[in-house]
Each structure stands twice: as C-alpha cells, then as structure tokens.
Amino acid sequence: MTARTGAGLLDRPATPVGTWLKIASGEPVEIMAYAGFDFVVIDLEHAPLDLQTAYRLINSAAALGVTPIVRVPDTTASTIQKILDAGAMGILVPHVDTVEQAAAVGRACRFPPHGVRGAGGTSRAGAWGLRPNAEYLATGNDEVLCIPQLESVEAIKAAPEILALDSVDAVFVGAADLSMSMGSAPSSPDVLDLIASAIEAAHAAGKRCGLAFGGVPERAAQAVRDGCDFVLLSNDTTMLADAARTLVKAFREATG
C-alpha cells in the first residue's frame, strides 16, 4: 500500500496544526474550523464524550473541511470499528507500548487482507450504502490514519519496529505521560532526547511524528524546526477557561 495521508492532511505544504475537542457540543468544532485549524482530535480518552457525540463531531468537522481524528478510549477492535464507520479519517490510540499492540491496532483499522476491520458500507463512511463498495474499502485501507500514541520508555524503544508496520502511518508522543512514567518533566533533557529519537525513527521509516504543546505556539514552532511533523495546540475547554479568566482578571484590575 502507498503512504496514507488522512485525505491529504499529512501532505499539506504547511505543518498541520490541530486541537483537542473535549466539549460535548457542535459549536467548538465549528469555531476551530473558522479559526483555521487543519484537524481536530475528538478526545474519547480524557473527556466525557460518547460514541454518538463523537459521531456528530466527526460529521461537523468533515463538513467544514477539517480532518476528523478520534482518540479512542481503548484498543478494542469494536470501538475502532464504530469510530471508523462514523467517518473518522484517523485513529489516535493511547498507551501503545509494544509492536504487538501496534500491530493489533493496525489490523483493526484495515480491511482484509491487510487487517480485520469488518465491512460496514451502509454506515456514514460508506455514504449509507450509496458509495461504491470498492471505493469504500479502498478509502479505509488507503486513507484512514492509524497513529499509536507512545507514552512510555518501552514504547519509544519499540518505535522503530512499530513504525515498520505497514498498517501504522505515524506516531504521536505523549510527552506528559512519558515524563510522568520517568518521574521527570516534559521539558527535561532525558524526555527531549526520547522525543528526538521517536522523530528520528519516524523519519527513518518515511513516516511522521506529532506532539502536543498546550497553549504555547512558540514551543510548537521550535519543535517543527527540530523535525516534528504535526502539532496539537491547546483544547476547546482550556481555550474557554483561559479566555474567561483573562477577561475577569482584566475587569477586576480595571475597576481597582
């Protein structure tokens, strides 16, 4: 199979920038689209979002020209199946530590003979059965991104083997969990060295590596200069919280 790009997301001339969606409402995804984000990651791991809400957010993002990716809460094939049938163009899988786990996740994302994903051509991904079956199957195998999240020293060490899997398209380094597992901090030299090794492994395999940076675009820009291929900035809840706190603080200061 040729390199997958998530319907062109990873082939853009500028570094793709996305954000996390944690609010169970359609308005944030619209706002992020109008703000200019290239993709969103609908977060089923750390937010109280259910499959039905994720389905609606996927639909809204796709309609607005934003690539919908979903961080699934677990690695079960049934969860991945439902998310892909809902039309997600990428799956971000947390806590993938071994090549065996990555292989299982990759198989769940692909139709036979490349994997074990079941055919659901009457779903949204198949345009309710109106999409030619060959096209539906080809899109699932050739466009949908499978992105394991590396969040431990074990995972980083396994990165070359994980990235060698044809079913895996990129990796995402979860610096916060990685540093916690080491008893360190995301900006410490030992963590930065591991991140750099993951980026190097991705590029050696001809694939991509992504990182998240909260609300610090300057750090994200430096990471891109250092080789990072796609970035996530902040999330809908934090943007709202920061804006609200800044507004109230400014008012209190202005009124003495």
The catalytic residues are 46
Cβ atoms within 10 Å, residue 15 = 17
Other beta carbons within 10 angstroms of residue 113's beta carbon come to 7
> What does residue 40 show for φ and ψ, rounded to 5 degrees?
-125, 150
Cα(first)–Cα(last) distance of the chain, in Å? 64
Alpha carbon 135 to its chain centroid, in Å, reads 24
**Cβ–Cβ under 8 Å, residues 131 and 120:** no
Structure tokens at 176: 């916060």
- C-alpha distances in angstroms, 252 versus 51, 226, 249, 255, 256? 41, 41, 5, 5, 6
Up-side HSE of residue 140: CA atoms within 13 Å toward CB? Answer: 36
Contact 68, 87 (CB under 8 A): yes
Residue type (1 letter), 202? A
With CA atoms as reference, report the closest residue to 176 among 168, 166, 184: 184
Measured CA to CA, the distance from residue 129 to residue 186 in angstroms comes to 46
